[in-house]
Amino acid sequence: MTLIFPFPPSLHRAYITKKGSYKRIRTYVAKSYIATVQWTVKKAKVSKPYPFVKLLQLRFFWPDNRTRDYDNHAYLIMNALKGTLLVDDSWKNIGEKRLISCGIDKDNPRVEVDYVL
């Protein structure tokens, strides 16, 4: 099964750290992106979260040629999938996770998520 999500914001735009503490707070950008991902999963008729996924593959179609970190963009997607597609995003619930770069697509930057139960 394949799910297609818009390209996620970086962690630098998704969270802020409250001054004087280590508490991280989600920004409006992160909250709206997570809502979009969860709506897309619900629209794909996933009735309940799966306890185990054999393979979770994230294919990135980058918006431009800037140097980016996979993990900064995958983090927000994984948090959004927790509770909708996956019971939890820990290593116990995912057999194999792949992050793949599929090049640049300026017109339609996105992340395609494939999963195998």
What is the chain's pLDDT, residue by residue, as a tens digit (117 residues)?
A: 899 999 999 988 999 988 887 888 999 999 999 999 999 999 999 989 999 999 999 999 999 999 988 898 999 999 999 999 999 999 899 999 999 999 999 999 999 999 999
Segments of 73-109 assigned E as strands? 94-104
pLDDT score at 39 = 96
d(CA 115, CA 55) in angstroms, rounded, equals 5
Q: Name residues whose C-beta falls within 8 Å of residue 67's C-beta, 6 or more positions apart in sequence.
A: none
> For the CA atoms of 86, 55, 116, 47, what is the dihedral angle to 10 degrees?
0
Tokens of 10: 């970086």
Q: What is the DSSP letter of 91?
A: T
pTM over 0.95: no
